Amino acid sequence: MHTTTGPGPGLHAAEWGELPTAAGELASDAPADAFAVPGFDAVVRLVSRSLHVPLVALVLNGGGAYWFAGGNEVAGQHPLVLHPLYRQAMRSQASQVVPDTLLDPRFRDAALSLDAAPEPIRFFASEPVFALTGQQIGALCVMDRVPRASLTDSEHNALRDAAVLASTGVVLRHYLGRTDPITQLPHRHAFFDDLRAHLNAEVPHAWAIAIDVAPVQRFNAFIRAMGHAYADELMRAVAHRLLAWIPQGTRLYQVGTARFAAVLPDDRMLADAARLDDLIARLRRPFDCLGIPLTIQPGVGLLRINANELRGGDPLRLVMNASHEAQRSVRGWAVYDRTQDQRHQQEFFLVTELAAALTERAELDLHYQPRVDLDSGRCVGVEALARWNHPTLGSVPPSQFIGLAERAGLMHSLTQWVLEHGVAQLAAWRRAGHDIKLSLNVSSTDLGADLVGRLQRVAAHHDLNLEALELEFTENTLLEHSAATHRHLSAIRALGASIAIDDFGTGYSNLAALRQMPATSLKIDQSFVRGMGSSRHDEAIVRSVTELARSLGFRVVVEGVETMQLYDSVLGMACDEAQGFHIAHPLPANEVPAWLAAHRGALPGRRAV
Ligand code: C2E
Ligand code: MG
Ligand code: MG
């Protein structure tokens, strides 16, 4: 077994940054032991003895090569250019035998010589090396300085067996956590070891860089569509570009399926934004992946780390935060930001808690806020608003969990929960003689073909006429995918339910565009309504929007009517309904009947009798 202290006798490990590589791109200061293939020196002895060859090499797809020259160490040389023979062997699924390179037109012109063995290589044979998954990861090559007839059957068998042993070594090396079998880059453990070794009294901190190839879901979808062979090829191609960019003498590590990292030699790179922009530009260029052009969505994160932080924490997690954030940005790279990280952690906690609250714990509740018709002064409906009472966090406001549920894919369950509970409650109130409607807030992620079916099922289950329901969508939702949205909304309208445009005025839409949608009412956002008391400007906006919306056939609802004064102002306008704290705060379900009874006729209306 090869020791980990350095190259074994007669064994020389070299790593190519690029294939073929230029002299400057060799990671020549990389410790050789990190690339050693366990047991390879024994394999080499066996092959060399049974085939009587002086030279044996293991060439791996990712760019690693292990040399053995007939029991003599190939003294301190790096083969700078990977000869076409090796390159072809590396990719060839079949064994190759070149009895005399000088007679073979493919290799005749390319002199193949090593510094330690200046005479050209005349005989060359190779056997592919496969990973456990059946993918070819390289080739075991044997060479001689004199031409040969060919290989005998038994020599061939010996070479084949040796290739299997070599592949076991490569796989073992992977399982020992040292290198990736596809790119042959050192792994996460090596990254940490080296980072630890890098930091000392004189170098109190280091900059780590992480490169994410694509968001996890996108990468998985890519594998599902194209298969692992393409993904492996893509990773090799990405590694290739990274190695061409990375500062000389810096090691690149593969720290995840689609993630690379490195420790930068100093912090000059941070001051050189153009260099990081250049990295992103290189990565955004299409990759030729087995003949198919592919683009990735790279994100590059940077993190300053000191020895203390390394001891207690996981710098890769931190730098990944930055690279994730960067993936969504135009620039493509970002420096780690602690406050953003805290937000992510908090979000992650909330998402898991919300998922549990939705499935196994009864922490969600609906409150209902009355809506009043301004002609009669009577309550004509209530809006259901979700409430989350967390056992330790207390009440979490919808502003914190609605957006989160959308991003985490929980909205479908949340809306289902709201639908079932809201509709059940409304049906109960209507059975008790309260002639009110119910408005439900629906998010853009709900607006798919199945929303219609979900509505129908829930209403049928509670024997509720769908005319008693209204769905509220924000204006941006309505304008997002207009053609499909139009179809779904029309189907909802056809069932008899109403459609409201919520928070109108906060988006960028214009009324004419919204008019194309089959919506029935428009809710003017509370920010304008609240401002009416102090700003004549806001009052003018509310007044003119109301008039325009009504002329377009919308029923107009004003939100955020907090005071008597505001209530009087909207009474003086053309609005149809009002909602706000002056009328009522959102109420728990059991308080609604009492409120309805107490407020009958309590609020003024234009035509109230
Ligand atoms: P929204 O649909 O515009 O609901 C009105 C919000 O304004 C509610 O906040 C309500 O409590 C508040 N509000 C009502 N009158 C007044 C007032 O006079 N003054 C002030 N300052 N605020 C008033 P809430 O309950 O915190 O909900 C916030 C938003 O969260 C809602 O805005 C809605 O967009 C969303 N949301 C709430 N529940 C659900 C739900 O079940 N599903 C979905 N998709 N979104 C929901
Ligand atoms: Mg609403
Ligand atoms: Mg609103």
More confident site: 93 or 519: 519
Query: What is the predicted pLDDT for the residue at 110?
Result: 56
pLDDT at 8 over 50: no
Counted domains in the chain: 3
CATH number of the domain residue 488 falls in = 3.20.20.450
Do 423 and 530 fall into the same domain?
A: yes
CATH number of the domain residue 228 falls in = 3.30.70.270
Whether residue 408 is contained in a domain is answered as: yes
pLDDT at 435 over 90: yes
Top mean-pLDDT range of 251-260, 288-297, 583-592: 583-592
Best residue for ligand 1 mutational test, from 372, 385, 388, 402 (most atoms within 8 Å of Cβ): 385
How would DSSP label each residue in 512-570?
A: HHHHTS---EEEE-HHHHHHTTT-HHHHHHHHHHHHHHHHTT-EEEE----SHHHHHHH
Confidence of residue 550 (pLDDT cuts 50, 70, 90): very high
Tens digit of each residue's pLDDT (9 = 90 or more) over 239-289: 999 999 998 888 999 999 899 999 987 777 666 889 999 999 999 999 988
How many angstroms is it from 501 CA to the middle of ligand 3?
9
Q: Are 419 and 459 in contact (CB under 8 A)?
A: no
Query: What is the predicted pLDDT for the residue at 374?
Result: 96
Whether residue 182 is contained in a domain is answered as: no
Whether residue 217 is contained in a domain is answered as: yes
Could you give the residue ranges of the DSSP H alpha helices within 360-480?
398-407, 411-431, 450-461, 475-480
Whether residue 604 is contained in a domain is answered as: no
How many angstroms is it from 440 CA to the middle of ligand 2?
7
Whether residue 183 is contained in a domain is answered as: no
More confident site: 96 or 309: 96
pLDDT at 72 over 50: no
- For residue 402, give the ligand nearest its CA: 1
Least confident of 51-55, 198-202, 427-431: 198-202
Query: What is the predicted pLDDT for the residue at 558?
Result: 96
Q: Which residues line ligand 1 (CB under 6 A)?
A: 369, 385-386, 397-399, 402, 418, 441-443, 472, 502-503, 526, 559-562, 579-581, 586
Atom of ligand 1 nearest to the CA of 503: 3
- For residue 472, give the ligand nearest its CA: 2
Top mean-pLDDT range of 119-123, 306-310, 441-445, 595-599: 595-599
Confidence of residue 26 (pLDDT cuts 50, 70, 90): very low
Do 250 and 135 fall into the same domain?
A: no
**Domain-terminating residue out of 273, 308, 336:** 336
**Domain-terminating residue out of 287, 311, 336:** 336
Closest protein CA for atom 7 of ligand 1? 560
Mean pLDDT of 280-309: 89
Closest protein CA for atom 35 of ligand 1? 398
Beta strands in 83-226 (DSSP E): 96-98, 123-130, 136-144, 205-212
Confidence of residue 102 (pLDDT cuts 50, 70, 90): confident
CA–CA separation, 528 vs 530, rounded Å? 6
- For residue 505, give the ligand nearest its CA: 3
Percent residues over pLDDT 70 in the chain? 86
Closest protein CA for atom 27 of ligand 1? 398
Whether residue 558 is contained in a domain is answered as: yes
CA–CA separation, 484 vs 394, rounded Å? 39
Q: What is the pTM of this model?
A: 0.61
CATH number of the domain residue 163 falls in = 3.30.450.40
Mean pLDDT of 377-397: 94
Do 164 and 192 fall into the same domain?
A: no
Closest protein CA for atom 42 of ligand 1? 441
More confident site: 70 or 99: 99
**Region for 503 from its dihedrals, namely left if φ exceeds 0, alpha if ψ lies in -120 to 50, beta otherwise:** left
Mean pLDDT of 99-116: 68
Least confident of 227-231, 235-239, 249-253: 227-231
How many angstroms is it from 246 CA to the middle of ligand 2?
51
Q: Which domain range does residue 472 map to?
A: 345-598
Query: What is the predicted pLDDT for the residue at 17?
Result: 26
Best residue for ligand 1 mutational test, from 371, 440, 441, 532 (most atoms within 8 Å of Cβ): 441
Which amino acid is present at 592?
V
Do 349 and 330 fall into the same domain?
A: no
- For residue 525, give the ligand nearest its CA: 3
Do 314 and 374 fall into the same domain?
A: no
Residue pointed to by tokens 């024994």? 42
Do 55 and 152 fall into the same domain?
A: yes
Q: Are 145 and 119 in contact (CB under 8 A)?
A: yes
Tens digit of each residue's pLDDT (9 = 90 or more) over 340-362: 778 878 888 888 999 999 888 88
pLDDT at 465 over 80: yes
Query: What is the predicted pLDDT for the residue at 5?
Result: 28
Do 78 and 129 fall into the same domain?
A: yes
Mean pLDDT of 515-533: 89
Whether residue 547 is contained in a domain is answered as: yes
Do 324 and 403 fall into the same domain?
A: no
Kindly state the helix (H) or strand (E) to which residue 64 belongs, with its residue range.
strand 64-69
Mean pLDDT of 107-121: 60
Query: What is the predicted pLDDT for the residue at 112?
Result: 55
Which amino acid is present at 509?
S
Do 494 and 370 fall into the same domain?
A: yes
Tens digit of each residue's pLDDT (9 = 90 or more) over 388-405: 999 888 999 999 999 889
Atom of ligand 1 nearest to the CA of 405: 44
Atom of ligand 1 nearest to the CA of 579: 15
Confidence of residue 27 (pLDDT cuts 50, 70, 90): very low
Do 159 and 10 fall into the same domain?
A: yes
Whether residue 92 is contained in a domain is answered as: yes
Phi, psi of 221 (to 5 degrees): -65, -40
More confident site: 101 or 157: 157
Q: Are 107 and 125 in contact (CB under 8 A)?
A: no
Closest protein CA for atom 23 of ligand 1? 560
Do 390 and 307 fall into the same domain?
A: no
pLDDT at 28 over 60: no
The gap between the terminal CA atoms of the chain, to the nearest Å, is 99
Burial (0-12, 13-18, 19+ Cβ within 10 Å), 226: middle
Query: What is the predicted pLDDT for the residue at 117?
Result: 52
DSSP 72: B
Query: What is the predicted pLDDT for the residue at 535?
Result: 82
Confidence of residue 515 (pLDDT cuts 50, 70, 90): confident
- For residue 523, give the ligand nearest its CA: 3
Confidence of residue 364 (pLDDT cuts 50, 70, 90): very high
pLDDT at 105 over 70: yes
Kindly state the helix (H) or strand (E) to which residue 390 belongs, with its residue range.
strand 379-390
Query: What is the predicted pLDDT for the residue at 70?
Result: 54
Do 553 and 443 fall into the same domain?
A: yes
Beta strands in 267-362 (DSSP E): 287-289, 292-294, 299-306, 333-335
How many angstroms is it from 520 CA to the middle of ligand 2?
14
Query: What is the predicted pLDDT for the residue at 316?
Result: 84
How remote is the C-alpha of 105 from its chain's centroid?
49
**Domain-terminating residue out of 336, 357, 381:** 336
Confidence of residue 381 (pLDDT cuts 50, 70, 90): very high
